[in-house]
Amino acid sequence: MSNQREIRKLFSESDIKDFEPEMKVGLLATINEQGLPHLTLISTLRASSPTEVVFGQFAEGLSKVNIRKNPKVGFLILTLDRNTWRGKAKFTHIERSGKEFDLFNNLPMFRYNAYFGIHTVYYLDLVEQYGKEPLPMGSIVQAALKTLVAKMLSSKKAKREVLNLWTRQLIDKIANLKFLAYIGKDGYPVIIPVIQAQTSGNEHVIFAASAFNEEIKAIPVNMTVAFFCMSFDMEDVLLRGTYQGIQRIGGIQCGSIAVNWVYSPMPPKPEQVYPETKLEPVTTF
């Protein structure tokens, strides 16, 4: 895929219609207090008008904290027919009533849910988007096969178990979706699909650079990146680490991430997995 994509300042009517189904993948890339990228699954992400992006909040999480402190975000929407839309937006305000609030809470997922509903709607101004882009499945399948070969040839030895067995198994399943995010020169996060990714030992994630090649080559070496993996069984994990650039493994050009932080976004309690957080005794009852 070329970096010379057409930049659009508006969503078309067909774009807005395509975002309506509940069954889709919505990703929001935000920036935390330390200036590091963060990736979150936001299933309610959609366009409310040609110039506005909205999503509904029903669970707490770091992305909602991040967006209030740094309004610059990147987004990706993936529909079931394997089309993607990516772009940048800027958070403006929240509402706890109104048209979009009623719309979200009347969706079947929330209308008939006895445990939670949408309690806050977030509004963002569209900065730019690049139109409908079909996932290049041929390139992704070839890159996945190359990554599997590189994984077998990789000799990375782990000093510590940053990635536990469950995390490695989730990432290594070829059918699961994987994405990378980093902060671009303009201060907005950029999201790149890296569905071909695999773990290499207990500390690294690698991915053949033949799919989305130009975008992967544009990632600055030694930059902190976020890596998000999800299954269709609603299991997911978020990693952060240092991007080590493109390396040759058995003649295969692979991007490599040295992972140093692991976070479980899954309910009922999202929490940091690595480095392990110290358990504090309860002293107030």
**Res 279: pLDDT:** 64
| Sign of the C-alpha dihedral computed for residues 130, 85, 51 and 227 taken in this order | negative
Give the tokens for residue 167.
């995390």
**Res 227: pLDDT:** 98
**Res 1: pLDDT:** 45
- Collect all residues with Cβ–Cβ distance below 8 Å to 40 and sequence separation of at least 6: 27, 28, 29, 30, 61, 62, 63, 228, 238, 265
Q: What confidence tens digit (pLDDT) does each residue in 163-200 have?
A: 999 999 999 999 999 999 999 999 999 999 999 999 99
User: Where, residue-wise, is CATH 2.30.110.10 in the chain?
Assistant: 13-133, 135-271
Kindly give the residue spans of alpha helices, DSSP state H, lying in the chain.
13-18, 62-69, 99-105, 108-111, 137-153, 165-172, 213-217
Residues facing 246 on adjacent strands: 255
User: What does CATH list as the number for 135-271?
Assistant: 2.30.110.10
Tell me if 37 sits within 8 A of 5, measured CB to CB. Answer: no
Phi, psi for residue 19 in degrees, rounded to 5: -85, -10
Q: What CATH topology corresponds to 13-133?
A: Pnp Oxidase; Chain A (2.30.110)
Which parts of the chain sit beneath pLDDT 70? 1-4, 109-116, 155-158, 268, 279-280, 282-285
Q: What angle do CA 118, 39, 153 make, to 5 degrees?
A: 140
Between CA 104 and CA 95 the distance in angstroms is 12
Between CA 18 and CA 86 the distance in angstroms is 13
Phi, psi for residue 24 in degrees, rounded to 5: -160, 170
Q: What confidence tens digit (pLDDT) does each residue in 70-81 have?
A: 999 999 999 999
Q: 162 exposed, middle or buried (CB, 10 Å; 0-12, 13-18, 19+)?
A: buried
Q: Look up tokens 């110039």; give the residue.
A: 51
**Res 113: pLDDT:** 57
Give the tokens for residue 50.
């040609």
What 8-state DSSP symbol labels residue 43? T
Between CA 142 and CA 189 the distance in angstroms is 27
Residues facing 205 on adjacent strands: 199, 257
Tell me if 37 sits within 8 A of 31, measured CB to CB. Answer: yes
Between CA 89 and CA 218 the distance in angstroms is 21
Q: pTM for the whole thing?
A: 0.92
**Res 161: pLDDT:** 87
